[in-house]
Structure 1
Amino acid sequence: MSYKSNVDSNIKEFIDNNDLINFVQKPTRVCSKYYKRLNVTKYSSTLIDLFLHNGNLVEETDVINCPFSDHKFVVSSLTILKPKNVLKTIKCRNLSSTNLASICTSIDAIDFKLIRNYQSVEEKWNFLKSEILKIIDNIAPKRRINVKSSNYFPWYDDELVKLKHLKNSSYKRFKRSQLTENGEMYDYYNRLFNDYNDEKLIE
């Protein structure tokens, strides 16, 4: 059935109720039929493919012929402005294979006998955590970096952004060095990123 803006129909009611505008004005199906007895070819044209919108993004529309159907293609030019890049600040550490090796060596050198000076489990845990964090902060201190956030999906949070940065930076480090330990580090962060990304997708 051909759409006509001045004829009541379900589609017209839907368009009116939702403040929509049809931007296609030309027929989108043109067919012909030859009547042998009359020796005449009759043509018919209908507007059955609509382009509905309720904003100001549509600059113009047109219909173009289709080589394998009597239905025409509907094409449109839209005004969509590219969003500006927004810098997102995250905190991270440089946990390269070299830094991790240094951290492990320094942890092995901790005098864990000092833990006997503490009575409660909480005090012992705080001592252990404090000693390890001192080493980590010394070798791989937290630093702020700016990353572009314009291309992130809606489910990206700060943790996912950070994991993506660590994954990408470890990949670049592996490509430059070709060291096995850097490749293992990339695999580790890549797995973390993919697992957390899948988790956020189904939340």
Structure 2
Amino acid sequence: MHLFLLFSWIVLFPRAYTLKCNECITDITGKCNTYEQCPSETDQCTVVTGGVSLKSCASAHLCINGSLNTGRTRQVITSKCCNTDLCNDQLPPEPVAPRPNGKKCFTCDKFGDCIWNLDCVDNEDYCFSAAVDSAGQEMTRKGCTTTDLCLKAGKTELLENIAVEVSCCQGDYCNGAGSTGGSLLFLVVTVVSMVIPS
């Protein structure tokens, strides 16, 4: 009897519901012509904008908003997550003009000298230091970033020959010789910057 009930439950019980989301890298119009069925029932539909816009299924913890500021460049990531079919059709709002917030971090010039002062803007409340190793050549990047991008720590291999190690800290100029904490989400910014042409 138990075996019959188990078999009936497996056959007759509907599969777990997963969302259907728009899936594409969009242009300025934000239109997609394709969609995907999310692999997990915990996934949400997302739109992430940071130079280009990416629409897809993603885990809710990847729905981030923040910026990475090196002084020479500032990458702003804006995302929107939702949980109904094809709800990721609209782009997130454009960021407003940045305003200084009083926080200060070190930044590097194009020669790798990391002794320059950088005024953080908006909600950039952390300093960061990143070591990027690309095909045996190591580069250092320093600057300001936001809490959302400093939630996780780690070192990761990107693509075939790129490794990134990032650390975050709070306090003016704390990203000098050494800093603690970190974020894997910086890897997203680094990969987008390296893979997608400007």
Smaller-chain TM-score bracket:
under 0.3
Larger radius of gyration: 1
Higher helix residue share: 1
Greater percentage in strand = 2
Question: TM-score, normalised on structure 2?
Answer: 0.22
Please report the TM-score for the alignment, with normalisation by the length of structure 1.
0.22
